[in-house]
Structure 1
């Protein structure tokens, strides 16, 4: 079967982050995609980086006006602000778009981007949600295999990598933890009892209106590469599930180093396969409400940490 054509739009992240080159592009082939070009808006300060990516993939590089896209083409978008809003407002309804790190932008910006979107086929770049172990755990919660959901605890520790986000890692990394929690609880009103927030560490404790306890810890180490810890514990009235999103992996040791190397279908490739299914009409896109729910939860963590008081996030259907 021929691969699905995909356009790589922008290489923007935070700081030195370039998920387009380091994460999405390397997984395209395994997910069944064929890159057809790299595009950057005229005002993208990272166009040189995008040009290098196009050269490495041996595909055309365009700047400025969005190239024509045939129905069935997918887009992986690493854009922010007005550039992202312009893309979502321009692409056709039949084009599937994966938006890397949608909550890097503020809730107000994100609402404007989604409100003007012309496509109904949107997928966030929150790739842990497509990890096979998480999807199995989510199905178990949905089907009542562990009884009524009572608690969700997530610990996510990443290595230094490109360094902490200049804007803080809450919206950069913490978004993953919140996204996973809300996928397990479903739409929920959450009261954050306590939050602590630093540039490279986030912790919070909360409870939904159905008395499900939520506990999250996200931090970044001073050195190293990759994800060091990604553990989820889901507790129900009749059982519990432990999920390790950093596995399966092998530990590779040399005389001077030791590193964990994943194998099998990783979460990035699994997420890209979700995008392919979306482009083929085999699955529904994600709702604007689900993205905004994550963003408003992150706002509440910031508010709770700043004021030292409990903050409630209303349910977003």
Structure 2
């Protein structure tokens, strides 16, 4: 059985929906940002906190857990700057509690959902796994700290793990049963789609004078179902003993500008967006794009769904969202 912590959240729920086809799953989530309705009915759901030893002991005693997949981090960069305690408490201290319980119950396989924020503002056009990690905010620092903890636990206790660093998860399940629903919403694609649905007055573009072809920032977008597939491939490799202590980037290798994303949203929906050019945000790099050559070579993963498919699935979800 696989324990998915944070399995009621956006990415976690999509992973559960795909992995449940192959494995029995128990989801642990405190529902602080996740949604009970997003958890596939075939999975066991336990409301609890990864930082609570009693919650974790109950799960590990009740179910034959063979691996843990961790999606239960706080992930708002701006919030991490104004409330770093929250981020170090949940993302680092609570993860240590989870790892401690794993060691106690002799569960040695761990998949960690990390982030491009570990790279900070890179000096290269395309980021690979050898690019220097220089986070510029507490969120990125907290994720990188856990990566270091995993390396130390691997050497000391024989923990087997895979770290997946990804950029902008986007889209929704093709069934439109689950999708992206945050409060507050900070991601570009849902913000644009909300505006096109009349739920927002405007879309703010933060800076139009960057050193990019159209002046707007370029980011790497991956369909959330493609992300789920990468996690499953990593888990399978880990369980078969083929990979451990590996770090993989998940990106499309190309990137799309803010302007391209808005224009593609308009194309898919047939609705014109109300766009406002605003000041740049401090710390926004002009370009954040990753190569996924390593995970393609070793595990055969690549991003299959293009930007139009990402937005089409997201649009279907936003028109019919249930939570």
Shorter-chain TM-score: what band? 0.3 to 0.5
Q: TM-score, with normalisation over the residues of structure 2?
A: 0.40
Q: Which has the higher helix share?
A: 2
Q: TM-score, with normalisation over the residues of structure 1?
A: 0.41
Q: Which has the higher strand share?
A: 1
